[in-house]
Amino acid sequence: MDIMEEEIGGNFIHDIIDADLAAGVNDTVHTRFPPEPNGYLHIGSAKAIYINWSTAKKYNGLFNLRYDDTNPVKEDDEYVQSIYQDLCWLGAVPNGGVFYGSDYFDKCYEFAIKLIKDGKAYVCDLSADEMKQYRGTLTEPGKDSPYRNRSVEENLDLFVRMKNGEFPDGSKTLRAKIDMASPNINMRDPAIYRIVRAVHHRQGDKWCIYPLYDFAHPIQDAIEGITYSLCSLEFENHRPLYEWVVDNIDFEKKPKQREFARLNVTYTVMSKRYLRKLVEEKLVDGWDDPRMPTICGLRRRGYTPSSIFDFVKRAGVAKAYSIVDYELLEHCIREELNESADRRIVILDPVKVVITNYPEGKTEFFDVSNNPNKQDSGTRPLPFTRELYIDSSDFSENPPPKYFRLKPGSEVRLMSAYIIKCTDVIRNEDGSIKEIHCTADIESGNGKPADGRKVKGTIHWLAADHTRDIEVALYDKLFTIPNLNDMGENETYDDYLNRDSVKVVSGCKAELALDNVDGVRYQFVRTGYFIKDIKADNRYIRITELKDGFIKGKQ
């Protein structure tokens, strides 16, 4: 995938960059995407990726991937590999390089020593609960830790001993000495190092102290030469701390943090913790379950990189909270596949039709378009025989008003073939329909009847002896309410989990021209857009329906 500069457009972030470039504040643009490898990326991650990658691309700059692997408890190499795979699949190749926060542990330690020597950091013995009590509230200032005024020498000694593993986990922290009366709680002597004994996925057991994100991240940005640290809005109140770290470590080139609103989508949860719970409790078929909002789940479902980035662009880049309709995402892939996907006929719930006035043993072929929206897509021959399959939903013995499909005594057009008329219904012993008998207007071919009569209904069909059996998976939304923020006080995501969100239909009849190839997307005529499931050899996943709920809702 390649997005040209004119397609990227502008937003308030680009306005900031334009002003900086004009004023000579920066002469280059260098961005980064810093995911924590504690789960798989999701559709919300796609927005952060798009903003950082496309901004660098627009200004002919550099884009880094940097794993935020400063918390060894939750991180795993499986997630490291999946993140890189997702970025490359989206087309957001990190042309500035791939880095790890753990690459800078030595530097972070060195800079922590500098802060201690400058009297700007101290070792604190307060527990986490005690620190919370000392921190104060939004309306009341915090209180100084009783350990705040330790000497530089004592702090250096204690910090080195923390590094050497002399103290239990959680017994001490290194805190920045800023202002316990600051109106911004994040500036009230935040912890910048903690003791954690855990094996790191890259560093092993080299370290038993780890820098916290708010300390490590600005250091990483500055070392890599990042000019714009673009992050989601929850970090806006952390920006003063970001700038304090950069200023007090005296970096010559200082990155600028700017924030944008996260991507919130209806019927969707972005919490990695909850998504991991769904996987671990086997409520879904892994991180790449087609119902999951993960990038790998969307990929398995049949979404394309271009449709995902199109969705992000249409959702917009702003600072105000909003929740975007999931149907917009469906609209983006539907709009793309309407132009690109070849058509194939699949009967989901087949019922046999016998054309009683058609010769037994005869086969003829009708040309049908592969894609009427693509001039060069050509046609394919569709065999026609005495015995056919139609979908049971296209026949009714007691039809409602304005029912234009097949019914007793009425005519309907077989797509690209004859007009047929229902003459009889043959039943099994249990009363179910065994087959429907019809006659064909042999003169009608695939054109107008000779007498000029009009037939309103058209249905799809397949010759019974020219099909193969497949199964299809029909997915619904994973949750039953659009906005999970509307949950009651004592409710959880589990209360609104749609446990009937997938239906697998077996015994579907597919035309032989349907390729059994991974990655090929089709429109199943009158049914929806489908792709072969990479985890099941003969199963096809519905990407989305033909009906465009987003457009309909806007009319």
Catalytic residues, by residue number, are 36, 262, 272
Residue in the block written with tokens 């994040």: 186
Q: Which is nearest to 41 in space by CA: 71, 65, 64, 9?
A: 65
Q: Is the dihedral of CA 400, 405, 409, 411 positive or negative?
A: positive
> What's the number of CA atoms in the CB half-sphere (13 Å) around residue 13?
31
Amino acid at 255: P
Alpha carbons 217 and 269: distance in angstroms, whole number: 26
9, two tokens:
């457009």
Crossing angle of helices 43-58 and 305-315, in 10° steps, is 80
Residue 398 CB neighbour total at 10 angstroms: 7
Residue 367 CB neighbour total at 10 angstroms: 11
Residue 290 CB neighbour total at 10 angstroms: 26
Residue in the block written with tokens 């307060």: 126
84 and 65 in contact (C-beta within 8 Å)?
yes
342 beta partners: 522
Give backbone dihedrals phi and psi of 87, rounded to 5 degrees, phi first: -60, -45
* Helix intervals (H) in 182-291: 213-224, 239-248, 272-280
Q: What one-character DSSP code corresponds to residue 437?
A: E
Residue in the block written with tokens 């999951």: 292
Helix, strand, coil abundance in the chain, percent, nearest 5: 30, 25, 45
Alpha carbons 257 and 204: distance in angstroms, whole number: 31
